[in-house]
Amino acid sequence: MPATLPREGDWLNPETRPFLEKYMMRNPDVSIEDIYRAFRWVQAISCSEIAGIMQYAGVHGGGSPRMEQIAIMGSYDVEKTKNVAKRLAGIPVEGKYSFDRLGVTPERDTRKN
């Protein structure tokens, strides 16, 4: 879907927007605006010119791509990454984003790393 996402002008057009909402809707518990923002963000990181360069550069040279995926996903926090992706796409979440420092500012941070 990100590669064929309708243009911004179609999304903002009151004549075409109802059709886009109808056919883009996935989960009724998720707003169509959040769905659109998420797809637009994925489009930016996967279908742009720089994304193509990064994908080519990221090919795993020490083994098969599938084995790389298995190794990475074995210790990967998918929920935290979803939370970060929502923040970057401008999708609000309940409470704090998983990477927020809960009000700690660098000047006041006395924790040891």
Shared domain for 32 and 78, answered yes or no, is no
Residue 112 belongs to a domain: no
Shared domain for 48 and 24, answered yes or no, is yes
Shared domain for 50 and 12, answered yes or no, is yes
Q: How many CB atoms lie within 10 A of CB 36?
A: 20
Q: The domain containing residue 36 runs over which residues? A: 1-57
The answer to whether the CB of 38 falls within 8 A of the CB of 86 is yes
Shared domain for 34 and 70, answered yes or no, is no
What average pLDDT does this structure show over 47-52? 70
Residue 52 belongs to a domain: yes
What average pLDDT does this structure show over 75-88? 78
Interior angle at CA 23, CA 2 and CA 11, nearest 5: 65
pTM above 0.85, yes or no: no
Shared domain for 36 and 80, answered yes or no, is no
What are the Cα distances from residue 101, in Å, to 33, 96, 106, 108, 110? 27, 9, 10, 11, 13
Residues 85 and 39: their CA atoms lie apart, in Å, by 11
